[in-house]
Chains A and B, each alone.
Chain A
Amino acid sequence: MLSFSLSFDSPWYLALLGLLPLLWWFSFRSLSGLGNYRRWFALMLRSVVMTLVILALAQAQLVRHSDKLTVMFVLDHSLSVPNEPSELMRQYINESIEKQRDNAKADRAGVIVFGRDAAIELPPFDDVQSMPAIESMVDREYSDLAGALKLAQASFPHDTAKRIVVISDGNENVGNAVEQARSLVDAGIGIDVIPMQTEVRGDVAVEKISLPPDVRKGQPFDLRVVLNNTSPDARQRKGRLQIVRRAGDRETTLAEEHVTLSPGKRVFTIREKIDQPEFYTYEARFVPAKVGEDTLPQNNQATTFTHVRGSGQVLLIEDFENKGEYDHLVERLRIMNLEVTVRSSRPDELFADLAQLQPFDTVILANVPREHFSDDQLKMLVANTQNMGSGLIMLGGPNSFGAGGWSNTPIEEAMPVDFQIKSAKVVPVGALAMVMHACEIPNGNHWQKVIAQEALKALGNQDYVGVLHWGNTTGRDEWLWAASTGLIKIGNRRNFMLKRLDTMVPGDMPDFQPSMEMALASFNKLKDAAARHMIIISDGDPSPPSNTVLRKLKTLKVKVTTVGLGVHGMPQILQRIANATGGKHYNVTNPNMLPRIYQKEARQIARPLVFEDKGGMSPQKLFSHEIIQGIEDVLPPITGYVLTNVKSSPLVEVSLLNPKPAGPENRTLLASWTYGLGRAVAFTSDAGKRWTEPWTHWEHYDRLFSQMVRWSMRPVGDTGKFTIATDLQDGKVQVVLTALDKNSDFLNFLNLGGSIVGPDMKPIDLDMKQMAPGRYIGEFPAKDQGSYFVLLSPGPGQAPIRAGVNVPYSDEFRDRETNDPLLKTLATMKPKRGKAGQVIEAKEVPAGVQQHIRQLLSFNPFRHDLPKATRNQDIWPLLAMLACLVFFADVFTRRVHVNFAWVPPLVVALRDKIMRREGAGVEINVMERLRSTKAEVTQSLDQRRAAARFEPAPDTPPAETVAAQTAMPAAAPKPKPAAAPGMPGPKEEDSYTSRLLKAKQKVWENRKRQ
């Protein structure tokens, strides 16, 4: 499977190998004293040392070649691909992996599905894998083939050849697949394609609904709807065209008529008139006469907006579980001439997009918990204030501010107060332990991370939190952090905790008892925790805890909430745990519900943020703000409010302050500030139901709340002299503003501030430039489907001009045929050192699914015609180390003469032992041998000392010296080395030693003289 070769980063060093003969030349002579065998052996070792050093200098690398192949199937899962071909391709992939993958070569296969984003459906693996269904959640309303190719490239294992099989209709509308494919082939990745055949099947789309730019109250105007029949066969399509108008909660059908559409575009016009100032949404819908006749129902409707200014509109959102809680406030506001719309927080009543918030100039969150809103809805509320200039008021109550789980949300950012209390002296702290056992459900680890993170976000810095799970490596239950103490204060560790949660991989917990005992022990240590809560998520099959531990938890007032997910039967076990401790039990079938459950449960910990004083406390005026203008200094007492922490921003104005508890920064009753283009108000008590009951009879009640609402509202007024028009063309919106003054003269050189909010709630820059007298034009990209809201501010104090434009559907829903040229381009790209890919398609029209798959299987995407994967590994450090070792062996060979004379006697002795016969040799006297050895060693040392004192003559034959030494008795005096002819060794020695002696004598003489 693997083969190896060498490569070099600096190959020119290899030229040094040419010096080897020189080494042999010089060494052969210098090593002559070693004897024949040792000389050759030493020569060989020197050669090896030199070779290794040269290879190390050349930065040798070991190159491993692998025969393995990995094929990643990249499957288009966007909505432009009809269901049948998508299902066919799923089956094809399964069969291809099962039948064509070479198991012997350990080939791997994986699957990526994509729409706008891409996800790994099956990771590359060297075994049979199958997709029973496509489970990855991707945005199917767009096609980003380039992104999917990029993900595939990143998913390949490094040690295999790589091929991507693109299965798509080729109709990309995000990214550039050809550009991405170039980088793939440059990296040696092959590309095969399987075109998913789609054809223009006939479709009617509502292309556009448009309004004139200068819609005014009481003036009739034309509303135009453009329908497009894309049928390729000149067939007429029948259906109904409905045009409806929505204003607030009212929906009016303006037109409904049967239409017969010939191929091509057709424009319908109706005359419309607006009598009441309001934010209006117009929607055109095409309903086909026969269900199923229309290919893409997603493109059958389009909307547009217009806004005719009038009096201010207020939206009050109340908790659907406590309906009517703010009826008194609503009634009083209406008396004060404010138009108030009340909606509950039920999902079907709440706003679904930003457009639905546009009729309102301020939004009041009236004691609604955070978990009733999705993350997107929170972003909309904030964008509505920050970018669209609306007001945002949060009224107090046990479900508001930090007590309502709003901590660490975008709403907290938009409010003039923070929802967490920094001082533990002011607020009793809470403690939350989470037990994680959801490893066996699909995506279990993902969900465990999400819910733990959501719970953590809902807690304050002063709260304690801990996560218990079964440690895969330790084989026991353990805390995710702070192993010894378990529950620890969040403090400034929030980010650390979030990171730890990201890496958490809980194992299969066999038993609930140990983890609950650990939690109990940790709760027991917390003396300052006023609220203790525990949440268990599990598939329910660990052994249940004992009644003893449940009793102890209940005694300690720890409520245990259990969340069953993918429960393997017997849900009553989890139910019993919850019942025994006063907690709740959830049996969850849809994991998407989990975050809200955890937000809600974590809120149990946030309850201490509510401060109540039954005796009452009278708020004090702190700052004379517009909201409390005309209100007496002494306000009636209140009995409770939610503690907050005023933001340290100079923009924040705290108008009313509660007298209790300590710390003015946490006692805010009324605070306000300007947030972006809008205004936000925090009123931390309620409006009469629970804590401010005496206020309902207070003479300034109406004044206070009406002034609060009016201050927060978007400026209103007739902006009749400004006309704004929007036009969507080729993914761009052009905004045209015509500005006239009171005398209908052009207004020039205006400094127009523009703000746009896209469907993702992110602001988009808009630069308005004056192009003609009184005419300003700007442009912004609008590729995503959804509503885009434009807000232009003509000047300080003036009401903003608003408009909206809707991208009715993405390009994905345009009826198109397969983009064969793109797919073929991908297939013809030749990977580096490999062959171009194949277009895999049925050769003839298949009779059925199985025949189609059989035809596709006649091509083999697992063919091994791509360059083998190579992996380089630096081995020069290893070579350098090896050279050192061999060098040591070289020195050893030259310095030490190993005598093998002991081998034959040993062999003989062993043979005699094995043959069980008397030894024929001389009996060895051990002591005698030791003495003899000692004498030899002494002699050897003497010789070494002598050698260190005197230099031998250079041309003295070493062999003779050795022979002479070995022939000498141990006590014999050492012979003097013979002087070589012509080389007066002693003289040279005299000159050296005499010089030393002379120098020494000179020193002594000098000393004597001194």
Chain B
Amino acid sequence: MKPLTAKPTFDHFCVPIFLSLALLAGCDSRPAGSIGELENVWGRRGLSDGRLQKPRAIAIDAKDHIYLVDITARIQKFDTQGKFLGRWRTPEHANGRPTGLSIDRHGNVMVADTHYYRVLFYSPEGKLLKTLGGKNGNGAGEFGWVTDVVEDSRGNLYVAEYGEYDRIQKFSQDHKYLLEWGSHGSAPGQFVRPQNMAVDKEDRVWVADACNHRIQVFDTQGKVLKLWGQPGQGVGELYYPYDVDLDGDGHVYVVEYGNHRVQKFTSDGESLGCWGTHGREPGELHNPWALVRDSQGHVFVLDTNNHRVQQVAM
């Protein structure tokens, strides 16, 4: 039989193109409301320098140096590409390891030494500069399990804690107790495990009220300014928000321990979309604890149970 031949027509290349487009469209398996693109993944499980063992807190300084603390109580310093720059360890960790890290105005690293009821202040090179607290209790300057410490533009410190007394204490820059607010509960202004905080340009304190599944915003005197969030898995809902960060353009980034994702909100709590789902592959998260943004706006998510950091453009 002789071979059939045909002159090429529009159909000859239109069909494959349409098929390809349809296939490409079908390949997008991300859940509805997904935003963000994965840019980089770094970090591996281990104990040697540069490796991570369940990292639980992250901070970034003005030079875009990233600090991580993991359950070996090592504080490790990286660049944004995951290049190891140095490390040190907290003085004691038999009772438990730190779960909060922040950078103060001078570039020093503030460590919420959770199970020793105190805050440690380190130079960027890891030299212990000073300590705040250290005594368990509910008096002024005493702490339960310290979760995070942040600093406002005037150098005042806000220390969050949970346990028997969930509250935030405010200290002057020379560590004098000023005031406190909050207690254990779910009413506005109360907390159940205020896991992390952020301070915006207007010195408002944003609190990830983890076990109430919400975000609360306070002024510097502890007055509730905003409160949003309800428990759930849907877009706009929160499940164990463990960290909150702000981009200065009115966007709020919340990492959800229970939903294994990062969600972007307006400052009034309107969801702009989510990134991440549960899993072990790149682009998937397993119980993330924290996140930071660098000077270029990249989001670094601490993928705790995957022992790594994922960089996302959101």
A residues sitting closer than 8 Å to B (CB atoms) are 33-34, 103, 125-130, 440, 472-476, 507-508, 510-511, 513, 541, 543-544, 546, 568-570, 572-573, 576, 894-902, 933, 936-937, 940, 944, 947, 952, 958, 961-962, 966
A–B pairs, 30, beta carbons within 8 Å: A127-B45, A128-B47, A472-B305, A508-B287, A511-B192, A511-B240, A513-B211, A541-B96, A541-B163, A543-B163, A543-B166, A543-B211, A546-B184, A568-B145, A569-B145, A570-B163, A573-B163, A897-B7, A898-B8, A898-B12, A899-B8, A902-B8, A937-B6, A937-B9, A940-B5, A940-B6, A940-B7, A947-B1, A947-B4, A966-B7
Given contacts A541-B145, A570-B136, contact A127 B51 (CB under 8 A): yes
Given contacts A34-B3, A508-B287, A902-B8, contact A513 B192 (CB under 8 A): yes
Question: Which residues of chain B come closer than 8 Å to A513, judged between CB atoms?
Answer: 192, 211
Tell whether, in the assembled complex, residue A894 and residue B3 are in contact, meaning their CB atoms are under 8 Å apart: yes
Tell whether, in the assembled complex, residue A33 and residue B2 are in contact, meaning their CB atoms are under 8 Å apart: yes
Question: Which residues of chain B come closer than 8 Å to A933, judged between CB atoms?
Answer: 7, 9-10
Tell whether, in the assembled complex, residue B287 and residue A543 are in contact, meaning their CB atoms are under 8 Å apart: no
Tell whether, in the assembled complex, residue A510 and residue B305 are in contact, meaning their CB atoms are under 8 Å apart: no
Interface string of B107-127 (1 = CB under 8 A from A): 000000011010000000000
- Say yes or no: is B46 at the interface (Cβ < 8 Å to chain A): yes
Least Cβ–Cβ distance between A104 and chain B, in angstroms = 12
Least Cβ–Cβ distance between A108 and chain B, in angstroms = 11
- Say yes or no: is B257 at the interface (Cβ < 8 Å to chain A): yes
**Choice from A440, A510, A511, A895 contacting B3 with Cβ under 8 Å:** A895
**Choice from A34, A511, A569, A958 contacting B115 with Cβ under 8 Å:** A569
Tell whether, in the assembled complex, residue B2 and residue A958 are in contact, meaning their CB atoms are under 8 Å apart: yes
Question: Which residues of chain B come closer than 8 Å to A127, judged between CB atoms?
Answer: 44-48, 51
> Across the two chains, which residue of chain B brings its CB closest to A941?
B6
In the bound complex, how far is the Cα of B71 from the Cα of A128, in angstroms? 16
**Choice from A473, A508, A895, A936 contacting B4 with Cβ under 8 Å:** A895
Tally inter-chain residue pairs, CB-CB below 8 A. Answer: 126
Tell whether, in the assembled complex, residue A510 and residue B240 are in contact, meaning their CB atoms are under 8 Å apart: yes
Given contacts A475-B239, A544-B184, A933-B9, contact A570 B3 (CB under 8 A): no
Least Cβ–Cβ distance between B104 and chain A, in angstroms = 26
> Across the two chains, which residue of chain B brings its CB closest to A977?
B2
Given contacts A510-B210, A543-B211, contact A958 B3 (CB under 8 A): yes
Interface string of B278-314 (1 = CB under 8 A from A): 1000000011000000000000000001000000000
B6, B164, B166, B186: most-surrounded residue (chain A CB, <10 A):
B6
B9, B12, B117, B186: most-surrounded residue (chain A CB, <10 A):
B9
Question: Which residues of chain A come closer than 8 Å to B145, judged between CB atoms?
Answer: 541, 568-570
Tell whether, in the assembled complex, residue A569 and residue B96 are in contact, meaning their CB atoms are under 8 Å apart: yes
Question: Which residues of chain A come closer than 8 Å to B278, judged between CB atoms?
Answer: 473-475
Tell whether, in the assembled complex, residue A128 and residue B164 are in contact, meaning their CB atoms are under 8 Å apart: no
Tell whether, in the assembled complex, residue B260 and residue A475 are in contact, meaning their CB atoms are under 8 Å apart: yes
- Say yes or no: is B185 at the interface (Cβ < 8 Å to chain A): yes
- Say yes or no: is B263 at the interface (Cβ < 8 Å to chain A): no
Given contacts A475-B278, A569-B117, contact A896 B46 (CB under 8 A): no
Tell whether, in the assembled complex, residue B287 and residue A475 are in contact, meaning their CB atoms are under 8 Å apart: yes
Least Cβ–Cβ distance between A135 and chain B, in angstroms = 15
Tell whether, in the assembled complex, residue A568 and residue B115 are in contact, meaning their CB atoms are under 8 Å apart: yes
Least Cβ–Cβ distance between A909 and chain B, in angstroms = 15
A474, A475, A944, A958: most-surrounded residue (chain B CB, <10 A):
A475
In the bound complex, how far is the Cα of B4 from the Cα of A952, in angstroms? 13
In the bound complex, how far is the Cα of B45 from the Cα of A281, in angstroms? 57
In the bound complex, how far is the Cα of B8 from the Cα of A940, in angstroms? 11
In the bound complex, how far is the Cα of B4 from the Cα of A940, in angstroms? 9
- Say yes or no: is B258 at the interface (Cβ < 8 Å to chain A): yes
- Say yes or no: is B95 at the interface (Cβ < 8 Å to chain A): yes
> Across the two chains, which residue of chain B brings its CB closest to A948?
B1
Tell whether, in the assembled complex, residue A899 and residue B7 are in contact, meaning their CB atoms are under 8 Å apart: yes
Question: Which residues of chain A come closer than 8 Å to B305, judged between CB atoms?
Answer: 472, 507
Least Cβ–Cβ distance between A69 and chain B, in angstroms = 17
**Choice from B48, B193, B239 contacting A476 with Cβ under 8 Å:** B239
The number of residues on chain B lying at the interface, defined by a beta carbon within 8 Å of a beta carbon of chain A, is 47
In the bound complex, how far is the Cα of B4 from the Cα of A966, in angstroms? 12
Tell whether, in the assembled complex, residue B164 and residue A544 are in contact, meaning their CB atoms are under 8 Å apart: yes
Chain A interface SS verdict (over half): loop
Least Cβ–Cβ distance between A340 and chain B, in angstroms = 51
In the bound complex, how far is the Cα of B142 from the Cα of A296, in angstroms? 53
In the bound complex, how far is the Cα of B185 from the Cα of A33, in angstroms? 85
In the bound complex, how far is the Cα of B257 from the Cα of A895, in angstroms? 58
- Say yes or no: is B275 at the interface (Cβ < 8 Å to chain A): no
Tell whether, in the assembled complex, residue B239 and residue A543 are in contact, meaning their CB atoms are under 8 Å apart: no
Question: Which residues of chain B come closer than 8 Å to A125, judged between CB atoms?
Answer: 46
Question: Which residues of chain A come closer than 8 Å to B44, judged between CB atoms?
Answer: 127
Those 4 A-B pairs whose CB atoms lie nearest each other, nearest first: A127-B46, A897-B5, A568-B96, A899-B8
In the bound complex, how far is the Cα of B185 from the Cα of A894, in angstroms? 77
In the bound complex, how far is the Cα of B107 from the Cα of A426, in angstroms? 72
In the bound complex, how far is the Cα of B278 from the Cα of A182, in angstroms? 46
> Across the two chains, which residue of chain B brings its CB closest to A947?
B2
Question: Which residues of chain B come closer than 8 Å to A130, judged between CB atoms?
Answer: 47
Tell whether, in the assembled complex, residue B258 and residue A476 are in contact, meaning their CB atoms are under 8 Å apart: yes
Tell whether, in the assembled complex, residue B287 and residue A507 are in contact, meaning their CB atoms are under 8 Å apart: yes
Least Cβ–Cβ distance between A27 and chain B, in angstroms = 13
Question: Which chain B residues in 15-63 approach chain A with CB under 8 Å?
Answer: 44-48, 51
A476, A511, A947, A958: most-surrounded residue (chain B CB, <10 A):
A511
In the bound complex, how far is the Cα of B166 from the Cα of A569, in angstroms? 15
Least Cβ–Cβ distance between B270 and chain A, in angstroms = 23
- Say yes or no: is B144 at the interface (Cβ < 8 Å to chain A): yes
Question: Which chain B residues in 231-270 approach chain A with CB under 8 Å?
Answer: 239-240, 257-260
> Across the two chains, which residue of chain A brings its CB closest to B48?
A128
Least Cβ–Cβ distance between A107 and chain B, in angstroms = 13
In the bound complex, how far is the Cα of B117 from the Cα of A895, in angstroms? 79
In the bound complex, how far is the Cα of B44 from the Cα of A125, in angstroms? 12
In the bound complex, how far is the Cα of B145 from the Cα of A541, in angstroms? 8
Given contacts A569-B136, A933-B10, contact A103 B3 (CB under 8 A): no
Question: Which residues of chain B come closer than 8 Å to A511, judged between CB atoms?
Answer: 192-193, 210-211, 240
> Across the two chains, which residue of chain B brings its CB closest to A130?
B47
- Say yes or no: is B158 at the interface (Cβ < 8 Å to chain A): no
Least Cβ–Cβ distance between A1001 and chain B, in angstroms = 29
Tell whether, in the assembled complex, residue A510 and residue B96 are in contact, meaning their CB atoms are under 8 Å apart: no
Least Cβ–Cβ distance between A195 and chain B, in angstroms = 30
Least Cβ–Cβ distance between B54 and chain A, in angstroms = 9
Tell whether, in the assembled complex, residue B5 and residue A896 are in contact, meaning their CB atoms are under 8 Å apart: yes
> Across the two chains, which residue of chain B brings its CB closest to A951?
B1
A127, A128, A130, A944: most-surrounded residue (chain B CB, <10 A):
A127
In the bound complex, how far is the Cα of B5 from the Cα of A29, in angstroms? 19
Q: Given contacts A569-B96, A894-B3, could you give 11 more A-B pairs where the C-beta distance is less than 8 Å?
A: A33-B3, A127-B47, A510-B210, A510-B211, A543-B192, A568-B96, A569-B95, A570-B144, A899-B8, A936-B6, A940-B7
In the bound complex, how far is the Cα of B259 from the Cα of A125, in angstroms? 30
In the bound complex, how far is the Cα of B13 from the Cα of A900, in angstroms? 11
- Say yes or no: is B162 at the interface (Cβ < 8 Å to chain A): yes
Least Cβ–Cβ distance between A926 and chain B, in angstroms = 10
Question: Which residues of chain A come closer than 8 Å to B136, judged between CB atoms?
Answer: 569-570
Least Cβ–Cβ distance between A93 and chain B, in angstroms = 15
Interface string of B203-228 (1 = CB under 8 A from A): 00000001100000000000000000
Question: Which residues of chain A come closer than 8 Å to B287, judged between CB atoms?
Answer: 472, 475, 507-508
> Across the two chains, which residue of chain B brings its CB closest to A939?
B7
Question: Which residues of chain B come closer than 8 Å to A895, judged between CB atoms?
Answer: 3-4
Tell whether, in the assembled complex, residue B258 and residue A475 are in contact, meaning their CB atoms are under 8 Å apart: yes
In the bound complex, how far is the Cα of B230 from the Cα of A255, in angstroms? 81
Question: Which residues of chain B come closer than 8 Å to A958, judged between CB atoms?
Answer: 2-3
In the bound complex, how far is the Cα of B115 from the Cα of A513, in angstroms? 21
In the bound complex, how far is the Cα of B164 from the Cα of A103, in angstroms? 45
Tell whether, in the assembled complex, residue A896 and residue B6 are in contact, meaning their CB atoms are under 8 Å apart: yes
Tell whether, in the assembled complex, residue A896 and residue B4 are in contact, meaning their CB atoms are under 8 Å apart: yes
Question: Which residues of chain B come closer than 8 Å to A510, judged between CB atoms?
Answer: 193, 210-211, 240, 257-258
Question: Which chain B residues in 167-226 approach chain A with CB under 8 Å?
Answer: 184-186, 192-193, 210-211
Question: Which residues of chain B come closer than 8 Å to A901, judged between CB atoms?
Answer: 8
